[in-house]
C-alpha cells in the first residue's frame, strides 16, 4: 500500500525515526562481506569515505535487515539534505521499488540478500527506481552521510554507486530493499538486469532474464549501472572535485 506523507508528518517521522530507528531493527542480525565488495567496485574517494567512517569496525559487528522506520529515516534525511525541489524521490513514503513478491533474508556466507517469494516469469519487471536518492555534487552527499548514524552511513557508502542518468552523472543510492540485491559472483550468474542492450543506467529498472523460482536469490550485475572509477568527480578533498565544480559550482568544498 502506498502512503504519501504531508510535510508535517514527514518532519514527525524524521524526528521519531532518528530517535527510535536504531532500536527498531529486526532481531536477526547478519554479517556482510561488504568490505571486499567495496574494494572491488570502488575508486579512491569511496574507499577514503569507507575508512573515514571506520566502516571496517562497523562491519565486524552484525548488520541487520532494516525495517520501515530506518528506510523512512534515510529518505527523510536525504530530502532534508538536498531540499524538496532537488530531491529525486517522488515523495517521502513507505513505498518500495519491488514489483514482485520478495523477501529480505540472511544468506550463508553472504549476509543480506533478496530471494523471490513467488515464481517470477522471464521478462517481468522485478524492481524499479522508486526510492533512488541522487546527489549531483560531493558536498551534499557528504552532508547526507554526516546527518545519519555512523552505521547507516557505512551502509550507504557500501550501497552507493555512480550512475549516468538523464540528470547527469550522479552519486546514487537506493533507499529501499533494492540495495540488498547482491552482485553476481564466481559461478553465480545474474538473473535480473536491464531490459535492452546498451541501457547503461538500467533506467527502466531490473527485469527477469529468465524464469526465477520461488526461494531463488535475485542477482544482478553492478557493472550494468555503476560507472567505474567515477567517484573522483565528487571528491570534496580537492578544489575541483567534480565535473560540476569545473563548470563553476560552489558546491565543491573541503568537507573532509
Cell numbers standing for residue 132: 533512488
Average pLDDT (163-170) is 83
Q: Cβ of 251: how many Cβ atoms within 10 Å?
A: 18
pLDDT of 206 reads 92
**pLDDT range class, residue 6, cuts 50, 70, 90:** low
The Cα 187–Cα 114 span in angstroms is: 18
pTM above 0.85, yes or no: no
Closest residue by Cα to residue 63 from 152, 189, 145, 192 = 152
Average pLDDT (77-105) is 92
Say if CB 99 and CB 117 are below 8 A apart.
no
Ramachandran angles phi, psi of 144, nearest 5°: -60, -45
Closest residue by Cα to residue 195 from 211, 209, 181, 183 = 209
**What is the pairing mode between strands 63-64 and 29-30?**
antiparallel
Closest residue by Cα to residue 48 from 210, 184, 241 = 241
Percentage above 70 pLDDT, the chain: 73
How high does pLDDT run on average in the chain?
79
The domains located in the chain, with CATH, are 32-61+97-246 (2.170.270.10)
Average pLDDT (11-21) is 46
pLDDT of 163 reads 85
pLDDT tens for residues 28-47? Answer: 333 344 334 444 444 578 88
pLDDT of 30 reads 35
Average pLDDT (173-181) is 96
pLDDT tens for residues 198-228? Answer: 556 677 789 999 999 999 999 998 888 877 7
Amino acid at each position: 500500500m502506498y502512503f504519501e506523507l504531508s510535510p508535517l508528518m514527514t518532519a514527525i517521522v524524521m524526528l521519531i525515526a532518528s530517535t527510535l530507528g536504531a532500536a527498531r531493527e529486526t532481531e536477526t542480525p547478519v554479517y556482510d562481506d561488504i568490505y571486499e565488495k567495496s574494494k572491488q567496485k570502488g575508486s579512491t574517494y569511496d574507499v577514503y569515505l569507507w575508512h573515514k567512517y571506520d566502516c571496517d569496525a562497523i562491519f565486524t559487528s552484525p548488520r541487520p535487515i532494516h525495517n520501515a522506520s530506518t528506510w523512512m529515516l534515510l529518505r527523510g534525511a536525504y530530502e532534508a539534505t538536498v531540499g524538496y525541489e532537488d530531491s529525486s524521490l517522488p515523495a517521502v513514503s513507505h513505498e518500495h521499488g519491488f514489483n514482485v513478491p520478495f523477501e529480505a533474508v540472511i544468506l550463508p556466507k553472504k549476509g543480506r540478500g533478496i530471494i523471490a517469494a513467488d515464481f517470477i516469469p522471464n521478462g517481468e519487471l522485478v524492481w524499479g527506481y522508486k526510492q533512488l536518492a541522487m546527489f549531483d555534487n560531493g558536498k551534499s552527499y557528504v552532508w547526507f552521510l554526516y546527518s545519519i548514524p555512523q552505521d547507516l552511513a557505512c551502509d550507504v557508502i557500501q550501497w552507493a554507486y555512480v550512475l549516468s542518468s538523464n540528470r547527469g552523472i550522479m552519486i546514487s543510492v537506493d533507499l529501499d530493499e533494492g540495495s540488498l540485491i547482491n552482485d553476481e559472483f564466481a559461478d553465480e550468474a545474474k538473473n535480473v538486469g536491464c531490459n535492452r542492450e546498451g541501457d547503461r543506467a538500467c533506467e527502466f529498472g531490473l527485469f527477469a532474464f529468465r524464469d526465477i523460482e520461488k526461494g531463488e536469490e535475485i542477482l544482478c550485475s553492478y557493472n550494468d549501472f555503476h560507472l567505474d572509477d567515477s567517484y573522483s568527480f565528487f571528491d570534496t578533498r580537492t578544489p575541483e572535485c567534480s565535473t560540476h565544480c569545473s563548470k563553476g559550482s560552489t558546491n565543491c568544498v573541503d568537507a573532509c
